[in-house]
Chain A
Amino acid sequence: MTPRRGERRRQKRSNAAMSNADAANSANPAILRETDESVKIAAMAKKLIIVLVNTDPRNGEELGAPFFHAAVAAAMDFEVQVICAATAGRLMKKGVAERLTVKPGADKTVYDFIRDAHEHGARFYACPANLDLFEMTEQDLIPECAGLMGSAAMIAQIMDEDCRVLTY
């Protein structure tokens, strides 16, 4: 793809500026490393939203990774929200996750994975539509679930530049 003329000029100026900066930095590798790290830290998002839509409670092998990733991200001090929608919404219903394991015979249940992530600070939400879909009320949600998060609230957060999203 060829950039338009105005873009080409801007790109040329930008390339020249980058070349000057690279030349200066290459003369001092320590500055290069420090600058790179400062930029990375400043640019790093603070929030991770994990959306479970396709995760099917009927397939145990799918159920560990999302919650494990949530636990790790929370342990890394990121703000983590896990939103369970569609089929995955079943996992927020009391009694469901504690009957499931990632592999047959495992002593750690899916509910244990959820609790681990919750203990590290991850916050769990169910989709409001799940209440009707699975014929439950908010009282049926596991205690680790902070409540319901509507689609607009989820999307508003996702569009924030300080946020990254993983879907499962």
Chain B
Amino acid sequence: MPVVNGCALPDDLLYDVENQLWYRDLGDGLVEVGITAVAAAMAGAVLAVTPKRAGRRLEARQACAVVESGKVVGSARIAFAGQVERSNEPLMDRPALVNQDPYGAAWLVVMRPDDWIAAKAALIPGTAVADPYRAKMEAEDFPGCSPSSPPSRAPGGQG
């Protein structure tokens, strides 16, 4: 499994590096979606997650979830058009899971893409994601993930 600057990027997943999302092919035309450990670390301690509800239709680049921390508001923009089949609504009660288990319990939605074959071709496989992600982290001036503790809540709270 690639580890870039302390950030794990499992090689059995597909990635949209620009939007910092991972995709897991579940078969039967279903794809699980979440945010990467890099995005979670950049956000700092995640305070709220709001995934789109099951039944929603999303177009490419629409938000499948919104993640809030003391530092940022981030929208998880999906790479393809499709239907939200499942929504991880329990995550709304345990947003810290985004920092603790970004590739497991903190999945956001399960999508049924309109055209998974085409969408998949535009994503980067985990086996090849290290270099593009390293470049992304350099461009964002992000030093890396700290395995011991998620970054503390940034000052400046929204009230």
Residues of A participating in the B interface, judged by any CB pair closer than 8 Å: 34, 37-38, 40-41, 61-65, 67-68, 71-72, 75-77, 101-103, 105-108, 112-113, 116, 120
Q: Is the Cβ of B73 less than 8 Å from the Cβ of A108?
A: no
> For the complex, is B155 an interface residue (Cβ under 8 Å from A)?
yes
- CB-based contact A34/B55 at 8 Å: yes
A16 to B61, CA, bound (A): 44
Interface size class of B (residues with CB under 8 A): 20 to 34
Among B50, B66, B68, B159: residue with most chain A CB under 10 A:
B159
Measured CB to CB, the nearest residue on chain A to B56 is: A41
Residue contact A103 to B62, C-beta cutoff 8 Å: no
B62 and A77 within 8 A (CB): yes
Complex Cα gap A92–B155 (Å): 23
**Contact partners of B150 in chain A: CB under 8 A:** none
Q: In angstroms, how far is the closest chain B Cβ from the Cβ of A62? A: 7
Is B128 engaged at the interface, CB distance under 8 Å to the other chain? Answer: no
Q: Are B50 and A105 in contact (CB under 8 A)?
A: no
Which has the most chain A C-beta neighbours within 10 Å: B55, B62, B155, B158? Answer: B158
> Do A103 and B155 have beta carbons less than 8 Å apart?
yes
A116 touches B155 (CB 8 A): no
CB within 8 Å for A77 and B159 given contacts A41-B56, A72-B66: no
Q: Decide: A61 and B159 in contact? CB cutoff 8 A.
A: yes
The interface residues of chain B lying within 8 Å CB-to-CB of A75 are: 63, 66, 73-75
Can you identify 15 A-B contacts, CB atoms within 8 angstroms?
A37-B53, A37-B55, A41-B55, A68-B73, A72-B73, A75-B63, A76-B50, A76-B66, A77-B62, A77-B75, A102-B158, A102-B159, A106-B157, A107-B156, A108-B154
Residues of B within 8 A of A40 (CB): 53
For the complex of A and B, the 4 pairs showing the least CB-CB separation, nearest first, are A108-B156, A68-B158, A64-B158, A75-B75
Question: Which residues of A have CB within 8 Å of B63?
Answer: 75-77
When A38-B55, A75-B63, A77-B62 are in contact, do A102 and B73 touch as well, CB less than 8 Å? no
* Set of chain A residues within 8 Å of B74, measured between Cβ atoms: 75
On whether A116 and B159 interact (CB within 8 A), knowing A76-B50, A76-B66, A77-B62, the answer reads: no
The answer to whether A64 touches B159 (Cβ under 8 A) is yes
**In the complex, chain A residues whose CB is within 8 Å of the CB of B73:** 68, 71-72, 75, 116, 120
Residues 50-87 of B, flagged 1 when their CB comes within 8 A of A and 0 if not, give 10011110000011001010011111000000000000
Point out the residues of chain A lying under 8 angstroms from B50, CB to CB: 76
A106 touches B72 (CB 8 A): no
User: CA separation between A62 and B158, bound complex, in Å?
Assistant: 9
Q: Whole-angstrom distance between the alpha carbons of A103 and B158 in the complex?
A: 9
Chain B residue with the shortest CB-CB distance to A78: B63
Additional pairs, 4, CB under 8 Å, beyond known A75-B63, A105-B155: A37-B56, A101-B156, A107-B156, A120-B75
User: In the assembled complex, how far is the CB of residue A144 from the closest CB belonging to chain B, in whole angstroms?
Assistant: 16
User: Is there an interface contact between A103 and B68, defined as CB atoms closer than 8 Å?
Assistant: no
Distance A75 CA – B154 CA, assembled complex (angstroms): 20
Q: How far is the CB of A14 from chain B (nearest CB, A)?
A: 26
- Given that A37-B55, A77-B62 are contacting pairs, would A103 and B157 also be in contact in the complex, using a CB cutoff of 8 Å? yes
